Structure 1
Amino acid sequence: MSPRLIRWMFRLSLAGFLATLAVYGALVAALAWPAPLFSHARTGGAITFHARDPLPPEAVRLGQEITALLSAAPLGAPAPVDVWLVPEGPLVGLFFSGSPRASGLTYPVVAPAHVFLRHADIPANRLVRDGRAVPPPRTLGYYLVHEITHLQLAAHVGRWRIVRMPRWINEGYADYVALGPAPPAMVARGLAGLPLPAVEFGTYARERVCVTLALTHLAGGPEALFALDAELPADRPCPVLPEFGIALAGGRP
Structure 2
Amino acid sequence: MIRSIPTRRRRHYVLKTCLALGLLVLGYLLVFLFPKPMFGYHSSYQNYRVWSDRPIPGEIVQVLDDVTRRLGASALHERTTPVEIFFCNEPWRLWLYGGAFSTQLGGTADVWLTRRVHIRASSIAANRIHSPNGGPLADAAQRPLSYFIAHEITHNDVSRRFGRTVMLRYPRWLLEGYADYVGKGGDFDLDSNRAQFIAGARELDVGKSGLYRGFHLKVAYLLDKRGWTLEQLFAQPPEEGQLDVWLRSPTPP
Secondary structure at the aligned position of 1:41 is classed as strand
Shift of 1:69: 2.9
Deviation digits for residues 29-49 of structure 1 (CA, Å, limit 9, x no counterpart)? 333221010121112232222
Pick the aligned partner of 2:221 from 213, 221, 226. 213
Secondary structure at the aligned position of 2:84 is classed as strand
On the 8 A contact 2:204/2:212 being kept in 1, the answer is: no
In structure 2, the partner of 1:5 is 6
Q: Number of paired residues?
A: 240
In structure 1, the partner of 2:211 is 203
Secondary structure at the aligned position of 1:50 is classed as strand
* Structure 1 gap segments, 5+ residues each: 232-237
Asked whether 1:61 is paired with 2:62, we answer yes
Pick the aligned partner of 1:240 from 220, 242, 248. 242
1:124 corresponds to which letter in structure 2?
A
On the 8 A contact 2:197/2:204 being kept in 1, the answer is: no
In structure 2, the partner of 1:43 is 44
Cα distance in 1 for partners of 2:249, 2:71 equals 36
Task: Report the CA distance shift for 1:12/1:75 in structure 2 as closer, same or farther (over 3 A).
Answer: same
Indicate the larger mover: 8-17 or 164-173.
8-17
Secondary structure at the aligned position of 1:105 is classed as strand
On the 8 A contact 2:194/2:247 being kept in 1, the answer is: no
1:44 corresponds to which letter in structure 2?
Y
In structure 2, the partner of 1:151 is 156
Shift of 1:4: 3.2
On the 8 A contact 2:77/2:154 being kept in 1, the answer is: no
1:123 corresponds to which letter in structure 2?
A
Percent identity among equivalent residues? 26
Cα distance in 2 for partners of 1:11, 1:160 equals 38
Shift of 1:58: 1.0
In structure 1, the partner of 2:170 is 165
In structure 2, the partner of 1:222 is 230
Indicate the larger mover: 81-90 or 15-24.
15-24
The aligned runs of 1:13-28 (5 Å cut-off) are 13-28=14-29
In structure 1, the partner of 2:125 is 123
2:223 corresponds to which letter in structure 1?
L
Cα distance in 2 for partners of 1:117, 1:66 equals 13
Secondary structure at the aligned position of 1:49 is classed as strand
TM (normalized to structure 1)? 0.81
**More relative contact order, 1 or 2 (CA 8 Å, 6+ apart):** 2
Shift of 1:245: 8.3
Task: Report the CA distance shift for 1:210/1:103 in structure 2 as closer, same or farther (over 3 A).
Answer: same
Indicate the larger mover: 27-36 or 147-156.
27-36
TM (normalized to structure 2)? 0.81
Asked whether 1:103 is paired with 2:103, we answer no
Cα distance in 1 for partners of 2:153, 2:69 equals 13
In structure 1, the partner of 2:201 is 194
Cα distance in 2 for partners of 1:203, 1:27 equals 31
Secondary structure at the aligned position of 1:159 is classed as coil
After superposition, the CA RMSD in angstroms is: 3.0
Deviation digits for residues 154-190 of structure 1 (CA, Å, limit 9, x no counterpart)? 1111113343221111111100111235521202322
Shift of 1:110: 1.8
